[in-house]
């Protein structure tokens, strides 16, 4: 996965912006989902799998971005030059117990198979008492979990595991509350 995201980093944000072409209401709902993220009280937050920092810039308080991809972190530093970013493994967080007040992640939890989810949730709970997850809403005609072949601009194709979420089911899975549930996005907070 690291190599896939390294290769995708220079144009990763195209997905956030370009998906509106094929999805009615995408841009308006993206604005709403990001507003729900921005409305979280300021906290010492670790943004796990921060990518390019596209969502990171909406978090309030003292924020540290973590990603395994060097190239994603390069993009995040370009976007947020005053930000603090760390390269590391989300399944073995390089921080002591209780180092943060909140773990935030967007479009990372959806890529974890069951064993990885268990590891990540244990790490998240070790490092912070609160977890906020932003992901894709489950659509009517799509499987909730699947492997996708993702083509990149260099012509390569990568197998990527993807889950999409029913808001209430994700809230139950995380023992949390739904902050946003739209057609395209879901945000859940567990404390």
- For residue 30, give every residue at least 6 positions away whose Cβ sits within 8 Å of its Cβ, in sequence order, or none: 16, 20, 184, 185
Given this model, what pLDDT does residue 14 score?
86
pLDDT at 20 over 70: no
DSSP-assigned letter for residue 155? S
Nearest-angstrom CA–CA distance, 75 and 79? 6
Given this model, what pLDDT does residue 2 score?
81
Nearest to 107 by CA among 140, 139, 67, 70: 67
pLDDT at 92 over 70: yes
Q: pLDDT by residue (tens digit) across 34-76?
A: 999 999 999 999 999 999 999 999 999 999 999 999 999 999 9
Tell me if residue 115 falls in helix, strand or coil: helix
Q: Dump strand ranges (E) for the chain.
A: 45-48, 63-67, 84-87, 102-106, 130-136, 145-151, 157-163, 177-181, 185-190
CA distances from 49 to 23, 110, 143 (A): 25, 11, 24
Given this model, what pLDDT does residue 23 score?
81
Domain count for the chain: 1
Nearest-angstrom CA–CA distance, 102 and 99? 9
Alpha carbon distance, N-terminus to C-terminus of the chain: 29
Given this model, what pLDDT does residue 15 score?
80
**Residue range(s) defining the domain that contains residue 175:** 2-190
CATH number of the domain at 152, please. 3.40.50.150
Percentage above 70 pLDDT, the chain: 99
pLDDT at 135 over 80: yes
Handedness of CA 49, 52, 58, 64 (dihedral sign): positive
Given this model, what pLDDT does residue 68 score?
96
Q: State the chain's mean pLDDT as an integer.
A: 94
* Confidence (pTM): 0.94
Long-range contact pairs involving 146-155 (C-beta distance under 8 Å, separation at least 24): 150/4, 152/4, 152/7, 152/8, 153/11, 154/7
């Amino acid at each position: 996965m690291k190599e896939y995201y390294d290769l995708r980093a220079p144009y990763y944000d195209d997905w956030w912006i370009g998906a509106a072409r094929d999805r009615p209401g995408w841009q308006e709902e993206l604005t709403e989902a990001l507003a729900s993220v921005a409305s979280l009280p300021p906290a010492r937050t670790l943004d796990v799998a921060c990518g390019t920092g596209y969502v990171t810039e909406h978090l309030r308080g003292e924020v540290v971005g973590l990603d395994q991809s060097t190239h994603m972190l390069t993009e995040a530093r370009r976007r947020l030059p005053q930000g603090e970013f760390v390269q590391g493994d989300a399944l073995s967080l390089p921080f002591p117990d209780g180092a943060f007040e909140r773990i935030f992640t967007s479009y990372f939890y959806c890529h974890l198979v069951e064993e990885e989810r268990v590891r990540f949730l244990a790490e998240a709970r070790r490092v912070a008492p609160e977890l906020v997850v932003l992901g894709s809403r489950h659509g009517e005609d799509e499987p909730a979990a699947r492997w996708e072949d993702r083509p990149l601009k260099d012509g390569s194709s990568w197998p990527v595991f993807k889950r999409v979420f029913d808001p209430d089911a994700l809230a139950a899975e995380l023992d949390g509350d739904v902050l946003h549930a739209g057609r395209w996005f879901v945000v859940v907070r567990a404390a």
